[in-house]
Amino acid sequence: MTTEQFDGHRFFGFLKKKSVVYLTIGSLFFNIGTGIVDKWTEEYDAEIFSKDRAVAMEVEKDLGDLSEGREYIAIDNKIVDFLRNYSNIFPEFETRELHLLYNSVEELHPVLDENGAPRNAIDVVVNYFEEFKDLSDKYDVPVPIPIGVLMIESGGKFDETSFAGNRGLFQLSSNLARHYGLEVNEWRDERTDPIKSADAGINYLSDLYNRFGQWGLSILGYHQGETRIGNMVSDYLEQNHGVTKPGGRINHEVIDKYDVNLYSILEDDEVSNKYFSNGYALTGKSYVQKIVTSMEIFNNYLDEVEEVEIDDVYTVEQGDSLNSIASRYNKTLEDLLDSNPDIQNADVLEVGQEIRIPGSYMDINDIREAYREGYSL
């Protein structure tokens, strides 16, 4: 078993059997180029592998040069793939933090699959994947991130409305939607338009990243609001570095200077309890882990199928009606309305308007390739 060179950090895992017998580090030392095997403390070993899961027994030996001149042993193809993918998306996370993220995903995966929201969103993701990918490229966001956000925020429901009044695939507040150019009033609400909702949601994710410079904090900011995340980082800096009001608005330069990331904040009990206690944001402490789990659910789905059903797109011409288009494609009016949630009046069409027609099929390879490219950005 071999491992490709990581684009970011390189990572490892130690062997562990259910009897919690750790192999001695001495037996694993060997010379590989410029680095050596890094020894983990028992404290981190216990924390990382506290869930008593079996781990593959084959040790990685084909390791390349690593950042900071350190070499690690990696085990189990599944873990290696996960660490490789998410070391690119979350370069701010240390080795043990990515292992903790992996363990969280392993725990959450069956829970979210049973809950059904991410799985229910897959048909929508597949149908609109090309548009989501184009928007992700436009705003320089790795496409797995908005896919994960959509799956958790709305479960793929175009008209999903939260108790706080957030609405649509990307659960935008009315003020945020208007900020990104969407029309929201008593007559029209463009948050229910999947493309316009995605455009605003992905644009917002991009703006969060431009401010915080890390996807961990940016994803959490999507859920809790960037002002709250800025305040949380500010409190952490004051608590741990004695820095009060560090140069005004918290941004990526301040965060980089003091080497702050999501896990360093979560592990500070005082700050963490202040911002994640009393159900302020339900599941707030596990929100990022839930997004990553949904990203993995879709990633795994792409290996489960070879062909998927998608919509064709028809461009409205002079004299067309929704009924005539439905008849032409042997569909019902309800079929077309289900596939076109942005149509608010079935009797009003505009020449040049695009109508999605359900019932076509495509090979999954194009989606699989484009989605996984997102891990290497």
Task: Considering only residues 204 and 276, tell me which one the structure prediction assigns the higher pLDDT.
Answer: 204
The 10 Å Cβ neighbour count of residue 363 is 11
Instruction: Average the pLDDT over 25-37 and give the result.
Output: 32
Q: Is the pLDDT of residue 49 over 80?
A: no
Residue boundaries of the structural domains of the chain: 25-90, 117-296, 309-362
- Whether the predicted pLDDT of 337 surpasses 70: yes
Q: What pLDDT shows up at residue 341?
A: 84
d(CA 214, CA 255): 9
Angle in degrees, CA 192, 195, 201, rounded to 5: 80
Number of H helices, E strands in the chain: 17, 2
Tens digits of per-residue pLDDT, 232-272? 999 999 989 888 765 567 889 989 999 999 988 888 888 88
Instruction: Name the band, by pLDDT with cuts 50, 70 and 90, for residue 338.
Output: confident
| pLDDT at position 245 | 65
The gap between the terminal CA atoms of the chain, to the nearest Å, is 25
Q: Cβ distance 362 to 334 under 8 Å?
A: no
Mapped onto helix, strand or coil, the DSSP state of residue 17 is coil
pLDDT of residue 317: 86
- What pLDDT is stored for residue 17 in this prediction? 36
What pLDDT is attached to residue 285? 57
What percent of the chain clears pLDDT 90, i.e. is strictly above it? 37
Res. 315 pLDDT band, cuts 50 70 90: confident
Q: Looking at mean pLDDT, say which of 3-12, 168-177, 221-230, 267-276 comes out highest.
A: 168-177
The number of CA neighbours under 13 Å toward the Cβ of 236 is 24
Fold classification of 309-362 is: Membrane-bound Lytic Murein Transglycosylase D; Chain A (3.10.350)
What pLDDT is stored for residue 8 in this prediction?
40
Does the pLDDT value for residue 14 go beyond 50?
no
Q: What is the mean pLDDT of residues 330-344?
A: 85
CATH 1.10.540.10 assigned to domain 117-296? The reply is no
Work out the burial of residue 57: count CB atoms within 10 Å of its CB; fewer than 13 is exposed, 13-18 middle, 19 or more buried.
exposed
Please, what is the average pLDDT of the chain?
A: 77
Tokens of 326: 């439905």
Q: How far apart are CA 93 and CA 258, in angstroms?
A: 14
Which two tokens mark 247? 């140069």
